[in-house]
Amino acid sequence: GSSSCLQYGHSSPAAAQGVCRSSEMMESLSCRTVKVIVLGDSGVGKTCLTHRFCTGTFPGKTEATIGVDFRERVVEVEGEKLKLQLWDTAGQERFRKSMVQHYYRDVHAIVFVYDVTNTTSFRSLPVWMEECRQHSLGQDVPRVLVGNKVDLATSVASSTTLEQARRLADVHGMPFYVCSAKGDDKKQVDTIFMTLAQRLKRQGGLRRKGPSVSGSFKLPSKAKVEKEKQEKWACTC
């Protein structure tokens, strides 16, 4: 199917930008929203993977995700436009605890990612799968397994892990892909997310939601919340 990425800040004149954004918003409003969460250890390339799918490019510089980043792309599957909303969370536990509940709410599909050059990230996959189960995301929620950074793998080092990954995917009934978010062939990355979109289209039951820009958010710290409460209830007399 065809697709269009929701992008802002075009190089065209301001008037044309307004028309373009209006068109994108109308398109976004008419779409069913698909919330896809991307899970895996810190450094496996989750941000690069979602960035490549939504923009077609590999980010020049990335830093560890703190909080939650999300990106969107509208795709067409069997004549219907779907808005894929990709949620990329921090892989490090200390950045995740405060927002886990929000992250796992209203999820339609899951992408598990590991680094084919890092066996520790592969061994962590059962932990991520268990976390999904604890948040009531069972086997009925479509999911795929992705081995990223295949461009950096040596044939000897990666072959054993790839075979283990195939077995893991088979056990959990999910497709398995290897790719490089940085590689020349963008189709590898597109295939992963379009596979999910096609399955969700057939499955149905998706919700509609208004447009929202790609971006990120962080939950306020407990200290900040307490301070705001004190200021709110402080006597001004």
Task: Write down the pLDDT at residue 141.
Answer: 92
User: What confidence category does residue 11 fall into, taking pLDDT thresholds of 50, 70 and 90?
Assistant: very low
pLDDT exceeds 80 at position 184:
no
Q: How far is Cα 78 from Cα 97, in angstroms, rounded to an integer?
A: 38
User: What confidence category does residue 25 fall into, taking pLDDT thresholds of 50, 70 and 90?
Assistant: low
pLDDT exceeds 70 at position 21:
no
Inter-helix orientation angle 46-55/187-203, to 10°: 80
Task: Write down the pLDDT at residue 132.
Answer: 92
Return the domain boundaries, the chain: 3-233
The CATH number corresponding to 3-233 among 3.30.930.10, 3.90.650.10, 3.90.1150.10, 3.40.50.300 equals 3.40.50.300
Give me 136's structure tokens. Answer: 């009531």
CB 25 within 8 A of CB 63: no
pLDDT in tens, 145-161: 999 998 887 765 567 78
Q: How many C-beta atoms surround the C-beta of residue 30 within 10 A?
A: 12
Q: Which residue has the higher pLDDT, 176 or 17?
A: 176
Average pLDDT, integer, range 7-32: 44
pLDDT in tens, 71-120: 999 999 988 899 999 998 765 555 556 667 778 889 999 999 999 999 99
